[in-house]
Structure 1
């Protein structure tokens, strides 16, 4: 048997990201699920950009603040304690708006742990 206890604050943040990203699954030695913690100040995006996954299901659990998510069907607000989920082939952009009063902290979970992300260009 193998177990891990990971404190996200002990991990180094990932450079070249629009907000503070800590890779939890890597630190825990998990191979089949991607788990990350994002902390975004007002005006920051969480993942890199508006994107879509071919096969990965993705969920964001909001630990604090209010997460905003842009989708082709409209914008969503995800309050503290709530979960936003996107099935494969469901484009989305998660962010903390410029006029937010506080940071947003989110645990992102994706499975399977594949690199199948593609940019999404919304139709005008």
Structure 2
């Protein structure tokens, strides 16, 4: 048996996230505790874990999740999602589950703090997808690979690999995929708010 206080757990400097998996010694499940101020979001943009299911439990406040789900691999390969898109608000004492392959991104749209637990199983996810079309073959999602010197967007079908670039408007490096008007996906700069149909890429 292991026991840990969130105050003693490792804290992420970018967002108020305490990783509980390592101090608890979990083998099969990832556990993180978040405290988000109004306007803040969970790390990353709209993404899916192909090899992991995620559950978010709201301890305090409320979370708003953008969601996008393809019905089949054929839909995903065509680049035309026959999908559910939209927003879901999860209140205090409620939980939401995202199956492997379901895209989601969460944020705090309320006036007060959001405290939530994020639980994923299996513990380590190695296949993270972003809902962007491959420019070579048109597949509707690409794999985000972060293991090298710089992150890459790699098509799981044709293998095309691209390196995301900075915002052309302000040079900021933090760009995320989100749902834009009409439920279409857009790339949004987290600094200046500029939106792009396609991600800026490095040469």
User: What interval of TM-score do these two structures reach, taking the shorter chain for normalisation?
Assistant: 0.7 to 0.9
Deviations 1:5-55 (A, max 9, x none): 11112223112x3x2110001111112110000110111111322110111
Size of the aligned set, in residue pairs, is 118
Counterpart position of 2:49 = 53
- Provide the rounded CA distance (Å) in 2 between the counterparts of 1:119 and 1:6: 33
Bigger RCO (CA 8 Å, 6+ sep): 1
Deviation at 1:114, TM superposition (A): 1.8
8 Å Cα contact 2:10/2:20 also seen in 1 = no
Cα RMSD after superposing both structures: 1.4
Deviations 1:100-120 (A, max 9, x none): 210100001000012232333
Structure 1, unaligned runs of 5 or more: none
- Provide the rounded CA distance (Å) in 1 between the counterparts of 2:54 and 2:43: 11
Counterpart position of 2:95 = 83
- Provide the rounded CA distance (Å) in 2 between the counterparts of 1:48 and 1:63: 21
Structure 2, unaligned runs of 5 or more: 69-84, 133-178, 186-203
Counterpart position of 1:113 = 123
Mapped pair 1:20 → 2:16: yes
After TM superposition, the score normalised by the length of structure 1 is 0.88
Deviation at 1:79, TM superposition (A): 0.4
* 4+ runs deviating over 4 angstroms: none
Q: Which of residues 7, 10, 21 in structure 2 aligns to 1:9? A: 7
For residue 109 of structure 1, give the secondary structure of its aligned residue in structure 2. Answer: strand
